[in-house]
Structure 1
Amino acid sequence: MFAPLQNDTFLRACRRQATDYTPLWLMRQAGRYLPEYVATRAKAGSFMGLATNVDYATEVTLQPLARYPLDAAILFSDILTVPDAMGLGLSFAQGEGPRFDAPVRSEAAVARLAVPDMERLRYVFDAVASIRRALAGRVPLIGFSGSPWTLACYMVEGQGSDDYRRVKTMLYARPDLMHRILAVNADAVAAYLNAQIDAGAQAVMVFDSWGGVLADGAFQAFSLAYTARVLAQLQRTGPDGQDVPRIVFTKGGGPWLAAMADLDCEVLGLDWTVDLGAARACVDGADKALQGNLDPAVLFAPPAVVQAEARRVLDRFGTPHTGAGSGPTHIFNLGHGISQYTPPDHVAALVEAVHGHSRKLRQA
């Protein structure tokens, strides 16, 4: 049902197979730093109008690929679609970020939670299929979801938070309620990602955006354990019979990298606080590719600086596996999402530096 893949560099790196250069994609690569995205969002009228319209979601997903020779596309959607389908009432006020009309703060509200009917998220799966067709095999398509813990943060707080007071209060005062929320979330995320795979996603990523706000011990019990529960339920092949790599990214997760190396996934994403060389040594023997991890703020600097910092990140990882079989591989990305204030031409400089320097590393 889909065109043959022309550039499989990203998927090969996910599988720890040799590639001619280090593949590159960017978290939030379809976003507000691109004027064409801003124009499409204006036509859609709102963020949710954009995300729930298959044609618009397809259009903005492909926009960065029209500008840059990136090695993967990522579905344009939001991490909060799953709790929205649970009936919490997601909205986006201009300049204020996401907000839920019915946050989950009482025992009764927790008891009402259930894995939503995936038909309520049909617009996401239709977008996946539409994007995959529109890509015409140019590069692979990544699907994604928020992690169970990250979704719980928004569900309990009702919006973004500086101190996570409400969700952490529940975690410590009523851990039974928190475990109930996380169990439902994990099963819902697994069903959601499996439906994306069925629709055509060729890799899937779990964004544990707020795992790093947890204390040691709490991270393992309330974040890592439920990410593992998601991974255990994911189907391993897509409708074309090809394997579907799984990526886990925890912002602030550096202190627990050794524990994350035991996750049943193919790729670990790293934020900019982690040294790639040390991370490579830490996961040695764990059969994990690494993804990351340029500080997004580097892209505000002049293009020459952007390119120098990109080369530094590549050098810290070192020469990837180049022979037969499998070995250490690297997927270049930012350490978190690209900022809306990033000059688009600085991204062009980044892509050029990553592709060019990584080829030289393999020839050394």
Structure 2
Amino acid sequence: MTSPTDQTGETPLLLKVLAGETTARPPVWFMRQAGRYLPEYRALRAEAPDFIAFCLNPGMAAEATLQPMRRFGFDAAIVFADILLIPRALGQDVWFETGEGPRLGALPVIGRMEELAAGAGEHLHQVGETLSRVRAELEPERALIGFAGAPWTVATYMLDGEHRTIGKGERAQARAYAYREPEKVDALLDVLVEATARYLKMQADAGAQVLKIFESWAEGLPDDLFERLVLKPHQALVARTRELGVTVPLIGFPRGSAALAERYAAECDLQAVALDTACPLEVGKRVQAIKPIQGALDPLLLLTGGEALDRRVDQLMEAWGQGPWIFNLGHGITPEVPIAHVEQVLKRIGAQ
């Protein structure tokens, strides 16, 4: 895939890497770079009645997206949204409780969700407006990323909403459901493939130059379930997104699947694979031999700072800097991270 250029004829650094180029320094952006570690974000968030209203307010969401770009000058902005907007588009109740995170109502009937899937992009048009606003303000040399949750990750939350029997941070119940009622789970995944492809198509049409698929719950799956719940739905999602006419690069993030990352990279027709914190450097090198990679600084090390942070940045640069690589975290930035530590990393890699 060739790297698209902006209106000035300059190709954003991120897009060069996604086209397979090795750049003088890696492009850098951070997952959750718009968020609670920024005082300007906290002030903005206080103006919204609830989190979903915040995500679906294009003015607020665009401002949240641009805040870290103004402060740090990252090489890419990622639209401020949430992976659980898709269940709302499919008719499931979604809300966020302070201090507890997301809550979902009962799972709608599969047939009804199938009827709604084709309209998912239109239903979430506010995200497209946010992207358009950001692209209009963002410097042309900086890329704009859209995203969606992967089918299995979104399905786990949707199934949890129906059962509500698992502990926070666990997904055992959803996995047990995949064993116990495979036809129903597979049907839900099919619905989510269609809805997510439509949603990604809308984002690309609105100005997203890169699209990322977040599989936050690939961790802990045996290889047969990984193939069924992660690999095959990702393959179907990529194919359907391309069928809809989307040509921008796609990044897949199968978090927690280091042992299967090479297979994922080889068998899924994405332009890059994002690696998580626990991915060994040698595994990253092998994945990088297949296609560009992204990752994988530990967010807790970003919180800690100091010489240990510098050492790890240097290790990553030495291990992966000789090939196509996007510098990022292995998971999202935490709210307690000092701004000075973000600046420390950017200076260390020569991005500031």
| TM-score (norm: length of structure 2) | 0.91
Question: Do the aligned partners of residues 167 and 43 (structure 1) sit closer, same or farther apart at CA in structure 2, a change above 3 Å counting?
Answer: same
Which whole-Å CA distance do the structure 2 matches of 1:356 and 1:340 have between them? Answer: 22
How big is the shift at 1:89? 1.4
Which whole-Å CA distance do the structure 1 matches of 2:287 and 2:349 have between them? Answer: 24
Matched, 1:272 2:277: yes
2:106 to 102, 108, 120: 102
Q: What letter is aligned with 2:136?
A: R
Which whole-Å CA distance do the structure 2 matches of 1:238 and 1:129 have between them? Answer: 19
In structure 1, the gaps of 5 or more residues are 321-328, 358-364
How big is the shift at 1:204? 0.2
Structure 1 vs Structure 2 CA RMSD: 2.1
Q: What letter is aligned with 1:13?
A: V
Q: Which residue of 2 aligns with 1:324?
A: none
How big is the shift at 1:235? 3.4
How big is the shift at 1:303? 3.6
Which whole-Å CA distance do the structure 1 matches of 2:307 and 2:39 have between them? Answer: 23
2:327 to 320, 328, 332: 332
- CA deviations on 1:71-91 (whole Å, 9 max, x unpaired) are 100000001111111111111
Matched, 1:252 2:259: no
Which whole-Å CA distance do the structure 2 matches of 1:246 and 1:156 have between them? Answer: 26
How big is the shift at 1:236? 8.6
Q: Which residue of 1 aligns with 2:44?
A: 40
Within a 5 Å distance, the mapping from 1:209-358 to structure 2 comes to: 209-235=216-242, 243-261=247-265, 262-284=267-289, 286=290, 288-320=291-323, 329-355=324-350
Q: Conserved in 1, the CA contact under 8 Å of 2:299 and 2:332? A: yes
Aligned residues: 339
2:25 to 13, 21, 26: 21
Q: What letter is aligned with 1:112?
A: R
How big is the shift at 1:310? 1.0
2:79 to 71, 75, 82: 75
SS where residue 234 of structure 1 aligns?
Answer: helix
SS where residue 304 of structure 1 aligns?
Answer: helix
Per mean C-alpha deviation after superposition, the further-off stretch among 2-11 and 294-303 is: 2-11
Which whole-Å CA distance do the structure 2 matches of 1:169 and 1:273 have between them? Answer: 25
Which whole-Å CA distance do the structure 1 matches of 2:288 and 2:66 have between them? Answer: 33
Q: Conserved in 2, the CA contact under 8 Å of 1:272 and 1:335? A: yes
Which whole-Å CA distance do the structure 2 matches of 1:55 and 1:318 have between them? Answer: 37
SS where residue 355 of structure 1 aligns?
Answer: coil
How big is the shift at 1:168? 1.8
Q: Conserved in 1, the CA contact under 8 Å of 2:25 and 2:350? A: yes
Which whole-Å CA distance do the structure 2 matches of 1:249 and 1:42 have between them? Answer: 30
Which whole-Å CA distance do the structure 1 matches of 2:288 and 2:294 have between them? Answer: 12
Which whole-Å CA distance do the structure 2 matches of 1:72 and 1:215 have between them? Answer: 34
Matched, 1:189 2:209: no
Q: Conserved in 2, the CA contact under 8 Å of 1:200 and 1:238? A: no
Q: Conserved in 1, the CA contact under 8 Å of 2:7 and 2:140? A: yes
Q: Conserved in 1, the CA contact under 8 Å of 2:22 and 2:325? A: no
Q: What letter is aligned with 2:341?
A: H
In structure 2, the gaps of 5 or more residues are 1-5
SS where residue 235 of structure 1 aligns?
Answer: helix
SS where residue 191 of structure 1 aligns?
Answer: helix
Q: What letter is aligned with 1:147?
A: A
Question: Do the aligned partners of residues 34 and 264 (structure 1) sit closer, same or farther apart at CA in structure 2, a change above 3 Å counting?
Answer: same
- CA deviations on 1:105-148 (whole Å, 9 max, x unpaired) are xxxx3343221523211111111111111214241100000000
- CA deviations on 1:288-325 (whole Å, 9 max, x unpaired) are 101000111001223433222211111122423xxxxx
Question: Do the aligned partners of residues 214 and 256 (structure 1) sit closer, same or farther apart at CA in structure 2, a change above 3 Å counting?
Answer: same
Q: Which residue of 1 aligns with 2:151?
A: 148
Q: Conserved in 1, the CA contact under 8 Å of 2:235 and 2:269? A: yes
Q: What letter is aligned with 1:103?
A: L
Which whole-Å CA distance do the structure 1 matches of 2:52 and 2:156 have between them? Answer: 20
Question: Do the aligned partners of residues 32 and 304 (structure 1) sit closer, same or farther apart at CA in structure 2, a change above 3 Å counting?
Answer: same
Q: What letter is aligned with 1:266?
A: Q
Q: Which residue of 2 aligns with 1:180?
A: 187
- CA deviations on 1:205-229 (whole Å, 9 max, x unpaired) are 0000001132221011111100110
Question: Do the aligned partners of residues 63 and 78 (structure 1) sit closer, same or farther apart at CA in structure 2, a change above 3 Å counting?
Answer: same
Q: Conserved in 1, the CA contact under 8 Å of 2:57 and 2:126? A: yes
Which whole-Å CA distance do the structure 1 matches of 2:251 and 2:130 have between them? Answer: 20
Which whole-Å CA distance do the structure 1 matches of 2:195 and 2:17 have between them? Answer: 28
Which whole-Å CA distance do the structure 2 matches of 1:269 and 1:233 have between them? Answer: 21
| TM-score (norm: length of structure 1) | 0.88
Which whole-Å CA distance do the structure 1 matches of 2:94 and 2:80 have between them? Answer: 17
